[in-house]
Amino acid sequence: MSKLPDPVPATSALAPFSQPAFRILWGVSLSATLCTWMNDVAAGWLMTGMTSSPLMVALVQSASTLPTLVLALPLGAVADMMDRRRYILLTQLWLALVGLVSFAVVWAGVMNPYLLLALTLASGIGFAMRNPGIAGTLPETVPRVQLPQALALSSVALNVSRVIGPALAGAVIASSGAQTVYALNAVIALAGCIGIVRWKRVAPAPPAKSTGLMVAIVEGVRHAAHSPALRAVMLRTAVFYLHATIVMALLPLLARRLDPHSPTAYALMFGALGVGAVFVCLVILPRLRTAMSPEKRLLIGSILIATTMIVIALSPWIWLSTLAMFFAGMAWTGAGNTMTTQAQLSLSNALRARGMSIYLGAMMGASAVGASLWGGLAGVIGISGALGVAATTTLLSAWYLFRHHTMPGESL
């Protein structure tokens, strides 16, 4: 096992960048998530141009997240069994392939709503592949005392790409069409492969090649079933993302309502979500982590996301909707970082990829179900009505969980 430098006090949000392995993994994660957000913007914009059905538009979000629910555990077992460096490299190559195929389909002029959903599903498979490898490897790149900061910086990578990706995708769509976004995705995914090839990883333990896939899956399920800490986090995660996903699922339609002829509003609102997420990771979370329990942080995040649902449901102005999305990004990532940290701290290294796959399956499964649910409801009672219902149930469920379900505290 490679020896990490002596742990330093967890006083700086940027402390994990002192570890070379973390810097490489962070850069790879940034490039992969950049591709994901650009793909989501292009797919959402293309879908709203082909249909006005809220359900079909929301299904783009479902197609993007459903693979994590279905494939998370077997992919987590594979990530635990093989060299994670090679595993992450394969995910980058898959994302590049999907980008090239999507480019060819749009360029040829044969894209339709169902083919778009299929290609979005393929991109979602790449996202599902990437998560176990990154999540399972990240804790070995930093001392344990720096793990919360490392997870926060991972959220920064996710949300820096959420800022850059939509803005870049919006500009590219406006200038040269969605097909160029997909081509650029392929180039970025291939560029991420360079960092992986340069990464000289020394595994903490040999890959479990002697363990069969089904045995590894059963071990992961057994661990999750007998871990009260992981079960508690998964419950809170599923409830939060079941509701919060309405913001992402209906965002293309909200943006079209404000600016029907240009992707500018869509890119601005999507980007503001990322700016809020980066802000909360670098400025707010380091202070709240020691001053407030995980339950209180999640309650505040739920109240904030519910408030933004009401604002974007009623707002007739791009500037107000964009400001609301900034606060939505703060709530989304603040709550997500809290839950991810709790999940990571409950897992051993040998089962980390499988445990995080189960956790991520709960997150993405709830997002996929929620997107379909809220999209269908919006088709019946309207977009604003669906957002109002989601805001109400968000507040009620968050208060119930705060009063009746306690998560274990962070221990480092």
Tell me the per-residue pLDDT of 175-222, one tens digit each, with 9 for 90 and over.
Answer: 888 888 899 888 888 887 877 777 776 655 554 444 566 666 676 677
Distance CA 303, CA 322 (A): 18
Buried b (16+ CB within 10 A) or exposed e, 361-399: bbbbbbbbbbbbbbbebbbeeebbebbbbbbeebbebbe
Residue 72, classed as helix, strand or coil, is helix
Instruction: Identify which of 298, 307, 301 has the alpha carbon closest to the alpha carbon of residue 236.
Output: 298
Supply the pTM of this predicted model.
Answer: 0.64
In a domain, 246, yes or no: yes
Would residue 374 count as lying in a domain? yes
Q: What was the pLDDT predicted at 223?
A: 65
Range of the domain at 145: 15-199+210-404
Tokens found for residue 235: 């419950």
Farthest CA pair distance, the chain: 60
Round to whole Å and give the CA distance between 332 and 278: 11
Q: For residue 73, what is the domain's CATH number?
A: 1.20.1250.20
Average pLDDT over residues 373-395: 90
- Best CA proximity match to 13, nearest among 189, 202, 179, 148: 148
Burial of residue 107, with CB atoms counted within 10 A of its CB: 0-12 exposed, 13-18 middle, 19 or more buried: middle
Task: Give per-residue pLDDT as tens, 267-289.
Answer: 788 778 878 877 887 777 767 76
Compute the chain's Rg from CA coordinates.
20
Residue 226 confidence (pLDDT):
66
Domain-embedded: residue 360: yes
Domain contains 10? no
Q: In whole angstroms, how far apart are CA 74 and each of 135, 200, 278, 289, 356? A: 15, 26, 31, 33, 12
CA distance 1 to 4: 9
Determine the Cα angle at 215 with ends 212 and 221, to 5°. 140
Name the most confidently modeled range: 95-109, 177-191, 326-340.
95-109
- 49-92 residue pLDDT tens: 888 888 888 788 778 877 877 776 777 777 767 777 788 888 88
Q: Which of 235, 228, 277 is nearest to 366 (CA)?
A: 235
**Lookup: tokens for 144:** 């344990």
> DSSP character for 204?
S
Asked if residue 205 belongs to a domain, the reply is no
Residue 4 has pLDDT above 50, yes or no: no
Distances (CA, A) of 283 to 149, 175, 271: 12, 35, 18
Question: Mean pLDDT, the chain, as a whole number?
Answer: 78
Q: Identify the pLDDT of residue 406.
A: 62
d(CA 304, CA 327): 7
Number of structural domains the chain divides into: 1
Q: Is the pLDDT of residue 5 over 60?
A: no
- Crossing angle (nearest 10°) for helices 54-81 and 228-258: 140
Nearest-CA neighbor of 267 among 158, 170, 163, 164? Answer: 170
In a domain, 204, yes or no: no
Residue-wise pLDDT tens digits, 226-260: 667 777 778 888 888 888 888 888 888 888 888 87
| 308 pLDDT above the threshold of 90 | yes
Looking at residue 381, what is its pLDDT? 92
- The stretch 141-153 carries a mean pLDDT of 74
| Residue 52: per-residue pLDDT | 80
Helices (H), 82-146: 84-108, 113-137
In a domain, 9, yes or no: no
Distance CA 263, CA 337 (A): 29
DSSP secondary structure letter of residue 292: S
**pLDDT above 50: residue 126:** yes
